[in-house]
Chain A
Amino acid sequence: MSAVATAGTARPTRRKRDYSKLAVRLGAFAGFAAIALYFAATARGFVSPYNLTNIVEQSTILGLLAFGMTLVFAGTGTDVQKGGIDLSLAANAGLCAAVYAVLLRNGYGSAIAIPAAILTGMAIGALNGVAVVLFKIMPLLATLAVLNIAEGLELTLTENTVVPVSSPLIDMLAFGRFLGLSSLTWIFVVATIVLVAIAHYSRIGLRLYAVGGHKEAARAAGINNGAYVYGAYIAAGGLAGLTSILIVARLSSSTPGTGQMLLPVLAAALLGTVFSRRLIPTIGGTCLAALFIGTLANGFQLLGISSYWVSGVQGALILVVVAVTSFAKK
């Protein structure tokens, strides 16, 4: 981080580093633009307004979960290679979706099912916090273990079957439109604005980045680091809970396999760093990255390229992004 660099002697290196960061960032934007232009030229129906809003709608669930991952990155180490991570996030969303669907099926209304889903997500987030902060387990292992717990609980609840549900709220979320845009699109837009405000303009958000950016400096400034790490995991869990409602709405049911979203979520949160000025995880960057991945998936579909390639490309993106950002930061 920049705080490590001492003034004076480091200036030439710092400038060089700034240029390489700028190059990475411009490269990322140019890459996004180039791919979008390529799809516009080759894929039938890509630029139709209906399809463009589809892309945003199809990126919403991915984007919201990736926001959760971004908060964890921000609070546990903005250098993603050395900091924290939440591998349980997608499985947590799956568990919350199961809680929500099973409660609705058993006759409880949304007024109980929605808070229950969000609280479940936060509880799983708190469990991550306990493992990482209290037991000081390496985040990679701690959240991997919690992933298994969440998956196990989901399977227990649903017995690995599809739990169909219907409610007026679900219909509104899945198929409602307002001013020409779908409910999911609006939720993505509003969530992005709210989270940008919290993460980048509020006191809590700035302190979260301080904790993640330089633990010792934050502690010296009187910040309770542990509380912010807990907060990041719990907030991510809460987002997983919130997103689970959208997942259930989109699929009209809770289905097994939500945990498969881990790779795209990680890819979006990591890719988001190359859209930011200092190559750190930001809400705006992650939003762009989620749209980028949504665009890729959509363009591949339109061109008739197998969806299996999308996961391959996501894996490759993770490698490239991590390699490029760590190189540019040196």
Chain B
Amino acid sequence: MHTAFKITLAAALALMAGGAMAEEGNVPSLKGKTVGVTVIGTDHHWDLQAYQGQIDELKKLGAEVIALDAGRNDQTQVSQIQTLIAQHPDAIIQQLGNIEVLAPWLKRIRQADIPLFTVDTATPEAITNTTSDNYSIGAQLALQMVKDMRGEGKVAVFNGFYSVPVCKIRYDQLKYVLQSFPRIEIIEPELRDVIPNTVQSAYSDVNDVLNQYGPDSGLKAVWACWDVPMIGATQAIADAGRKDVKTYGVDGSPEFVEMVADPKSPAGAVAAQQPYKIGQTAAQTVARFLNGDEVPPFNFIPAVLVTKENAGETAAPFLPKDGKTGDKAEGASDKTEGKAEGKAAAQ
């Protein structure tokens, strides 16, 4: 590897590693404590990594873990939360899901005097929400898109998950940025991303949009609040042979990062997050809270905007590696670098 590149990569990793991992040595034990984890689903890279990060860290800290995966079924998640409340664990961590469905149940967790922590769910009921800085992610991605579009043209937007808090934030940020660029128009009606069959459905939706908006239409971008639909969107654009349309998403699923890093692919940019570390940090926050320490209302774990231009330096930690993903593999550097994210985030 080229030395200059090595240094840049190390610097990038150090920047990303600026998380609570540095405090690992100081994290109090969870021996004798039971922690419930409830998650809407683990069928995507981000979800599984964040879920696994929590479980691994909770177990490492000595907690007994009741981990419940609702298999993308709202009714199952509601039942699982109800059952968790009956078990009265020392704390509950809740990850993602539809806020409208969850809100009354999260309230019930607090009414039952169980400390509630969330991953990616902004709610007044949570003591700490561990997540990425989605305000910044949303604005950065939108600005990158505006830059690539040269400030004008049409964008097709997937907006099927406005009920998921992180998606709401990213979408609202996109709209806010676009207020300053009135020559960029969001195509109406907006597209609906779905779960399951996300990739296939996005492929056919974008295919339809490409047919409707030909090369002279001014269509230049496709956006979604996450990157799994963008895998299908990018394939549809590539298969249609269009060079004028690029895709933008969030999360850092290895397949999509690979597309962004590929100079020939129409994938424009992705805000790549560190879900495994988000999960770990959520678990550590629980340990600190149960130890009587003060914890911040939110922890922001850094994310990196991987673009076509900077992919050479930034994409590496997020690309697929021997069946494992960058997020976990990059953990080694965490131990040597970084500063106290939790405290920084609370500012």
Contacts and interface: CB of A to CB of B under 8 A. Distances in A.
Determine if chain A interacts with chain B. yes
B101 A301 contact: no
Interface stretch (B15-23, B82-90, B287-295, B308-316): B82-90
Nearest to A255: B74
A256 B192 CA distance: 12
B76 interface: yes
Nearest to B102: A252
Contacts of B98: 162, 253, 255
Given A57-B82, A161-B192, 19 more contacts: A51-B86, A54-B86, A58-B82, A159-B192, A161-B160, A161-B162, A164-B100, A251-B100, A255-B98, A257-B73, A257-B74, A298-B79, A301-B68, A301-B79, A302-B66, A302-B83, A302-B87, A304-B68, A307-B73
A61 interface: yes
B177 interface: no
A250 B163 CA distance: 17
B39 to A, nearest CB: 11
A160 B192 contact: yes
A135 interface: no
A176 to B, nearest CB: 12
Interface of B: 65-76, 78-80, 82-84, 86-88, 98, 100-101, 103-104, 108, 160-163, 192, 194
A44 B65 CA distance: 13
B203 to A, nearest CB: 16
B127 to A, nearest CB: 22
B87 A44 contact: yes
A247 B74 CA distance: 10
Contacts of B162: 161
Nearest to A50: B86
Contacts of B104: 174-175, 252
A45 B88 CA distance: 9
Interface in A50-73: 50-51, 54, 57-58, 61
A107 B269 CA distance: 41
Given A162-B101, A251-B78, A253-B101, A260 B83 contact: no
A250 B75 contact: yes
A255 B84 CA distance: 22
A304 B66 contact: yes
Contacts of A6: none
Contact of B75 (A51, A61, A161, A301): A61
A304 B64 CA distance: 11
B86 A45 contact: yes
B163 A164 contact: yes
A164 B164 CA distance: 12
Contacts of A297: 76, 79
A306 interface: yes
A51 B163 contact: no
A291 B65 CA distance: 27
Query: A-B pairs with the 10 shortest C-beta distances?
Result: A164-B100, A162-B163, A51-B86, A45-B87, A253-B100, A58-B79, A301-B83, A255-B74, A251-B101, A162-B98
A161 B163 contact: yes
Nearest to A162: B163
A316 B199 CA distance: 30
Contact of A307 (B68, B82, B101): B68
B70 A307 contact: yes
29 contacts: A44-B87, A45-B88, A54-B79, A54-B82, A54-B86, A58-B79, A159-B160, A159-B192, A160-B160, A161-B161, A162-B100, A174-B104, A175-B104, A250-B78, A251-B78, A252-B103, A252-B104, A253-B101, A255-B98, A257-B72, A261-B75, A297-B76, A298-B79, A298-B83, A302-B83, A304-B65, A307-B69, A307-B71, A308-B69
B66 to A, nearest CB: 5
A183 to B, nearest CB: 14
A247 B219 CA distance: 41
A260 to B, nearest CB: 6
Contacts of B79: 54, 58, 297-298, 301
A221 B294 CA distance: 78
A71 to B, nearest CB: 22
A253 B78 CA distance: 12
A44 B76 CA distance: 19
A48 interface: yes
Contacts of A260: 73
Nearest to A52: B86
Given A159-B192, A160-B194, A308 B75 contact: no
Contacts of A160: 160, 192, 194
A297 B160 CA distance: 29
Contacts of A57: 82
Contacts of B101: 162, 251-253, 255
Interface in A239-281: 247, 250-253, 255-258, 260-261
B252 to A, nearest CB: 25
Nearest to A59: B79
Interface in A124-180: 159-162, 164, 174-175
Contacts of B163: 161-162, 164, 253
A174 B80 CA distance: 15
